[in-house]
Amino acid sequence: MTYQALDFRGQPAVRLAPAGGGSVTVALHGGQLLSWIDAAGVERLYLSPSAKFDGKTAIRGGVPVCWPQFNQRGPLPKHGFARNAQWQVEPADAARPDTVALVLADNEATRALWPHAFRARLAVTLAPKALHIELAIDNPGTEPFSFTAALHNYLRVDEVTAVRLEGLQGAQRWDSLLDLREVESAEVPAFGVEFDSVFAAPAHPLRLVQPSGTLEVTQSPSCTETVVWNPGPVLGAKFDDMPADGWRQMLCVEAAHIDEPVELAGGGRWQAWQNLAVL
């Protein structure tokens, strides 16, 4: 199995469609997963029809890689530089026909923002009813560096006000809109207005329940937080790269390590993953 190189809205991308069914499409800009179609032919990721594909702007939708900074928690551009950098596709591995991988290494542009040598690798593995996304960060230097990170997925939903995101009850929660820390008491969060909260990663998988199929969402222990975000109608209407009602079709349930930065020693590697399975 080899990748199919393609032009996606004017930008280079690769598509993998293994024999087991389904497909994934990944843009070289940002190393960003744009589409996951499961074996039943259902698109499971939201990609804004108004997303900008100019090779410079972050793409609205799919799974942006937020690294080496989450949001505006530091001196770098929002969500770091990885989602706006040009990644390289690894040669296809005959032993892994279900996986496509892209890499990003430090260069003059990244060192101007963040003076460290690094190698980032994003591997996307497809099964008929599941998707596995893994991010690995290597520090090839001798000095340590620190970072925060998130796999900022936009999950496609039928109608966000009607979905049930199960499994967060009892988790520690920071509501960033109210700057409020509390234990989540609700059985499921309510969506319909802007929602932006960081949860301590639950011990058990989450379930996103809706008519088009339940998704089980699991993340690696190295991801100590789960970020849940939906812009709601007011903020959503301000985006010039998403339709005014686009907020209704998406929900971010992100695997993240952001509250305490990762300290990566010289020669070290950090790995994180998120698994999405259709039940």
Residue-range domain boundaries for the chain: 4-278
CA neighbor of 248 nearest in space, from 261, 260, 263, 231: 231
Rounded distance between C-alpha atoms, residue 35 and residue 23, angstroms: 8
Can the peptide bond before residue 68 be classed as cis, meaning omega within 30 degrees of 0? yes
Look up the pTM and report it.
Answer: 0.96
**Encoded amino acid at 72, one letter:** Q
Known catalytic membership, residue 152: yes
Rounded distance between C-alpha atoms, residue 23 and residue 200, angstroms: 32
Predicted confidence band of residue 74 (pLDDT cuts 50, 70, 90): confident
- Please write the tens of the pLDDT for every residue from 261-273: 999 999 999 999 9
- Please write the tens of the pLDDT for every residue from 112-129: 999 999 999 999 999 999
Catalytic residue among 29, 79, 116, 152: 152
pLDDT at 149 over 90: yes
* pLDDT at residue number 18: 87
Neighbours of 16 (CB within 10 A): 21
Domain spanning 4-278: CATH 3.30.70.100: no
Predicted confidence band of residue 205 (pLDDT cuts 50, 70, 90): very high
Q: Calculate what percentage of the chain has a pLDDT beyond 90.
A: 92
137, β-bridge pairs:
120, 270
Catalytic residue among 166, 216, 225, 254: 254
CA neighbor of 22 nearest in space, from 152, 155, 125, 157: 125
Rounded distance between C-alpha atoms, residue 116 and residue 194, angstroms: 36
165, β-bridge pairs:
208
pLDDT at 1 over 70: no
